[in-house]
């Protein structure tokens, strides 16, 4: 089953769709918190501040969209308000753990420096994914004539990807080799996550 079909199944069932929006909101919030956690106390720059602010806005915006389909649903991020809660949390956590392991081995980094490298590569992989996922989701929303919209997120995610590339070029001239490794890790985790999402969606049907 491909991404479009999975999202179509989700969007067609209002309670599942609400949970999906909440799950994306959870992911955005976790991402935002991660970016903030990676900030250097006094060397943080404008790009990082902008990025954290926008990811926080995405979490808020997606949560607000739930009101268009199921007002009063999914008020928090508790497990029964998310789709595939275990795999959802696992995706971000494992991506971080496995990417850190690779970066530590490859660059011999520690503490603050490792944190910053992880911010760059993990965020890059997530942005590549976001640039694939949100446009397909919007396509489904438009085809289903839904009031929910993610166009403003798509625009900002495209900006994030460009900003991450700029920062990565600055970090290492051969960044693409390492980014590809982290993307490999991300790809495997995303596949597992999507499978769990599909299972959860079918369970509702
Ligand atoms: Fe985002
Ligand atoms: Fe982003």
Report the separation in Å between the CA atom of 58 and the middle of ligand 2, taken as the mean of its atom positions: 8
Report the separation in Å between the CA atom of 59 and the middle of ligand 1, taken as the mean of its atom positions: 7
Report the separation in Å between the CA atom of 20 and the middle of ligand 1, taken as the mean of its atom positions: 15
Residues with CB under 5 A from ligand 2 (ion): 157, 160
How many Å apart are CA 31 and CA 56, to the nearest integer? 8
Residue pLDDT, tens place only, 117-164:
999 999 999 999 999 999 999 999 999 999 999 999 999 999 999 999
Q: Residue 187: is its pLDDT beyond 90?
A: yes
C-alpha distances out from residue 65 to 25, 137, 196, Å = 10, 14, 23
Residue pLDDT, tens place only, 57-108:
999 999 999 999 999 999 999 999 999 999 999 999 999 999 999 999 999 9
Report the separation in Å between the CA atom of 205 and the middle of ligand 2, taken as the mean of its atom positions: 31
- Average pLDDT over the chain reads 95
In b/e form, how buried is each residue of 152-168, taking b as 16+ CB within 10 angstroms? Answer: ebbebbeebbebbbebb
Q: Tell me what pLDDT residue 41 has.
A: 85
Residue percentage of the chain with pLDDT more than 90: 92
Report the separation in Å between the CA atom of 62 and the middle of ligand 2, taken as the mean of its atom positions: 13
Q: Tell me what pLDDT residue 89 has.
A: 95
Q: Tell me what pLDDT residue 38 has.
A: 85
Q: Residue 22: is its pLDDT beyond 80?
A: yes
How many Å apart are CA 130 and CA 10, to the nearest integer? 18
Report the separation in Å between the CA atom of 134 and the middle of ligand 1, taken as the mean of its atom positions: 9
Ligand nearest to the CA of 24: 1
Answer whether 179's CB lies under 8 Å from 125's CB. yes
For the full predicted model, state whether its pTM sits above 0.75.
yes
């Amino acid at each position: 089953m491909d991404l479009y079909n999975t999202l179509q199944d989700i969007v067609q069932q209002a309670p599942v769709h609400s949970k999906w929006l909440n799950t994306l909101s959870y992911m955005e919030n976790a991402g935002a918190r991660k970016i903030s956690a990676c900030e250097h106390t006094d060397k943080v720059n404008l790009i990082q501040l902008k990025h954290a602010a926008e990811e926080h806005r995405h979490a808020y915006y997606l949560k607000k969209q739930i009101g268009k389909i199921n007002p009063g649903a999914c008020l928090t991020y508790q497990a029964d308000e998310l789709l595939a809660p275990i795999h959802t949390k696992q995706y971000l956590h494992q991506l971080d753990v496995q990417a850190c392991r690779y970066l530590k081995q490859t660059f011999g980094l520690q503490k603050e420096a490792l944190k910053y490298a992880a911010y760059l590569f993990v965020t890059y992989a997530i942005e590549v994914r976001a640039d694939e996922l949100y446009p397909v989701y919007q396509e489904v929303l438009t085809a289903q004539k839904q009031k929910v919209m993610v166009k403003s997120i798509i625009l900002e995610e495209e900006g994030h990807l460009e900003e991450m590339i700029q920062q990565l070029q600055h970090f290492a001239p051969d960044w693409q080799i390492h980014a590809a490794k982290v993307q490999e890790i991300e790809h495997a985790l995303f596949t597992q996550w999507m499978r769990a999402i599909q299972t959860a969606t079918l369970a509702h049907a």
